[in-house]
């Protein structure tokens, strides 16, 4: 059986592996020069390891990709516990009025806050030794680690009852199965109802606005359930970068006689009875791993209009990453920083070299600045020089010692249709393996819902689409 796989990311590579093991003739069509999709990496002359174009890590419970790696004989995955945190805006008056929990000065037997320097000590103890502070007008911006229940209890911007209530809800989300009620409420409705308005405004509102923009208030509660359910303190990475695993899989596929085509953009698919014509090659079946808007475009002439109309109701944001290679790190200890301050127009900052040793990148510190954007957003239209100029003043606020003179190099990467909008229309219209066309199947990352996309679910999709086709005896 001749099978075409559209897209050479982890889903396509995984599906190709299992199909080839079943002795099918498989061809993968990849538009880019290398395989890997969103996990593809690049390497500079002095770097030992690849770096992903978009930041990547694994969770300790990513069993699908971990088991797949074992199955194919790949053993270069390791785990660490880097710090994750959020940055918040706080008024100076809030800091000065903040009273930490009573502590006893053992030398004098007096309460800590009665010390003559109590205000200064309050500032020092406004969470915590690991936090970072800078000033702008009458505002303070401080980084708070939020990795553990203990971090939440120390978080100073909520009262103890609100933190306790928040902790109970987070524990419920972590250990509960998926309930249909998560699709009956938006995340905003659910979080405000269960945690309260203050918690929504303090912990969550900016995170949703930074990630989903104008769609922030219509995202389903299923999204936040999946995020909390999946998250682990331990994070995994691959020796040499994710591209190392991709390259390993490519060698495996070559040994299985898979036809691997790169720099190969498909403009149109034609139908020939129950078969398909792609650039003068006939295929018995097609598995598309492409983003839904791209797939509907190239298959516009073969799919029924009502099916295309349904898929075109789905909304997406595009991923933008500016990668900085510097002489000094932007963030001192934090790997992953959520930007919860509206005054800083960045969604997230990922200091790669607070997770992976900078020796693998020629001694330079690597930092991602990340956004999800509408295609009309001014940032999406910028080139790397314009984006760096725009963001530099904010980087200096995050780290007063930052200067563009510290830059060794910088890179920009754009990934269209990287973030689907998980609203009620998405649930009703998202794609499935089966399409109206016999022998044409979809297995793309829209189908990882309610989980956010990632390499673990890309591998799972590749496995499941092959299993689905064989279990249904579609061959």
Decide: helix, strand or coil at residue 293: helix
Instruction: From 246, 240, 295, 335, select the one nearest 430 (Cα to Cα).
Output: 295
| 145 CB-side CA count, 13 A | 19
User: 20 is written with which tokens?
Assistant: 């080839």
The structure's pTM equals 0.89
The pLDDT assigned to 90 comes to: 80
Assess contact for 40 and 413: CB atoms under 8 A: no
**Residue written as token pair 């490519």:** 250
The pLDDT assigned to 115 comes to: 38
Q: What is the mean pLDDT of residues 403-422?
A: 95
The pLDDT tens digits for 257-295 are: 999 999 999 989 999 999 999 988 999 999 999 999 999
Q: What is the mean pLDDT of residues 197-225?
A: 97
The pLDDT assigned to 124 comes to: 41
Count other Cβ atoms within 10 Å, centred on residue 354. Answer: 22
Say which DSSP state 249 is in. H
Cβ partners under 8 Å of residue 275, min gap 6: 282, 283, 284, 439
User: 399 is written with which tokens?
Assistant: 């780290």
Q: CA 142 to CA 62: how far, in whole Å? A: 32
Q: CA 300 to CA 360: how far, in whole Å? A: 45
The pLDDT tens digits for 101-157 are: 333 233 333 333 343 344 444 444 444 334 444 444 445 789 999 889 999 999 999
Decide: helix, strand or coil at residue 76: coil
User: 243 is written with which tokens?
Assistant: 């591209």
Spacing of C-alpha 287 from chain mean position: 24
CATH class of the 2-80+238-314+422-471 domain in this structure = alpha beta
**Element of type H or E holding 297:** helix 292-298
Strands 83-91 and 77-80: unpaired
The pLDDT assigned to 92 comes to: 60
The pLDDT assigned to 126 comes to: 45
Percent of the chain with pLDDT over 90: 83
Q: CA 73 to CA 69: how far, in whole Å? A: 6
For the chain, the domains span 2-80+238-314+422-471
**Element of type H or E holding 170:** helix 160-175
Q: What is the mean pLDDT of residues 179-201?
A: 97
Count other Cβ atoms within 10 Å, centred on residue 94. Answer: 14
Q: CA 348 to CA 452: how far, in whole Å? A: 16
Of the two residues 475 and 439, the one the predictor is more confident about is: 439
Phi, psi of 3 (to 5 degrees): -125, 130
Q: Please, what sign has the CA dihedral across residues 465, 466, 470, 473?
A: positive
> How confident is the prediction for the chain on average, in pLDDT?
90
Q: What is the mean pLDDT of residues 250-263?
A: 98
User: 269 is written with which tokens?
Assistant: 């698919």
Per-residue pLDDT band at 89 (split at 50, 70, 90)? confident
Instruction: From 126, 194, 183, select the one nearest 158 (Cα to Cα).
Output: 126
Instruction: From 161, 83, 58, 114, select the one nearest 333 (Cα to Cα).
Output: 83
**Helices 10-21 and 242-255: angle between axes, nearest 10 degrees:** 30
Cβ partners under 8 Å of residue 210, min gap 6: 338, 339, 340, 346, 347, 348, 371, 372
Q: What is the mean pLDDT of residues 38-55?
A: 96
| 6 CB-side CA count, 13 A | 28
């Amino acid at each position: 059986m001749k099978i075409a796989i559209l897209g050479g990311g982890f889903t396509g590579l995984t599906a190709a592996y299992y199909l080839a093991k079943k002795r099918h003739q498989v061809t993968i069509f990849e538009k880019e020069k290398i395989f890997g999709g969103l996990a593809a990496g690049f390497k500079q002359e002095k770097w030992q390891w690849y770096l992903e174009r978009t930041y990547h890590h694994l969770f300790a419970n990513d069993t699908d990709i971990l088991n797949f790696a074992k199955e194919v004989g790949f053993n270069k995955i390791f785990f660490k516990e880097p710090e994750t945190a959020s940055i918040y805006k706080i008024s100076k008056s809030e800091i000065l009025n903040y009273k930490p929990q009573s502590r006893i000065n053992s030398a004098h037997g007096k309460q800590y806050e009665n010390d003559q320097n109590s205000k200064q000590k309050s500032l020092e103890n406004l969470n915590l030794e690991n936090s970072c502070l800078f000033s702008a007008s009458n505002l303070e911006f401080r980084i708070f680690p939020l990795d553990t229940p203990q971090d939440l209890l120390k978080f100073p911007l909520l009262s103890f009852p609100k933190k306790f209530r928040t902790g109970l809800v987070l524990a419920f989300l972590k250990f509960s199965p998926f309930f249909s009620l998560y699709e009956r409420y938006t995340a905003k409705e659910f979080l405000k109802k269960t945690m309260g308005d203050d918690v929504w405004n303090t912990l969550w509102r900016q995170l949703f606005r930074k990630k989903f923009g104008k769609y922030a208030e219509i995202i389903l509660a299923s999204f936040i359930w999946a995020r909390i359910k999946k998250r682990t303190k331990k994070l995994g990475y691959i020796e040499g970068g994710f591209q190392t695993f991709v390259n390993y899989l490519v060698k495996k596929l070559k040994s299985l006689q898979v036809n691997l085509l790169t720099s190969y953009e498909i403009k149109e698919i034609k139908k020939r009875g129950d078969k398909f014509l792609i650039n003068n090659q006939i295929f018995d079946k097609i598995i598309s791993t492409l983003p839904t808007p791209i797939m509907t475009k190239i298959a516009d002439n073969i799919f029924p209009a009502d099916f295309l109309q349904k898929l075109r109701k789905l909304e997406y944001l595009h991923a933008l990453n500016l990668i900085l290679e510097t002489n000094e790190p932007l963030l001192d200890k934090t790997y992953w920083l959520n930007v919860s301050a509206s005054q800083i127009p960045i969604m997230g900052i990922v200091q790669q070299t607070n997770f992976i040793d900078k020796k693998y990148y020629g001694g330079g510190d690597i930092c991602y600045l990340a956004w999800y954007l509408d295609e009309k957003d001014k940032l999406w239209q910028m080139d790397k020089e314009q984006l760096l100029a725009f963001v530099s003043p904010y980087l200096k606020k995050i780290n007063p010692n930052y200067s563009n003179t510290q830059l060794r190099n910088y890179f920009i990467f754009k990934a269209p249709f990287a973030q689907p909008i998980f609203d009620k229309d998405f649930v009703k219209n998202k794609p499935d393996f089966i399409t109206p066309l016999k022998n044409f199947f979809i297995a793309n990352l829209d189908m990882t819902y309610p989980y956010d996309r990632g390499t673990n679910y890309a591998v799972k999709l590749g496995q499941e689409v092959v299993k689905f086709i064989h279990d249904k005896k579609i061959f």
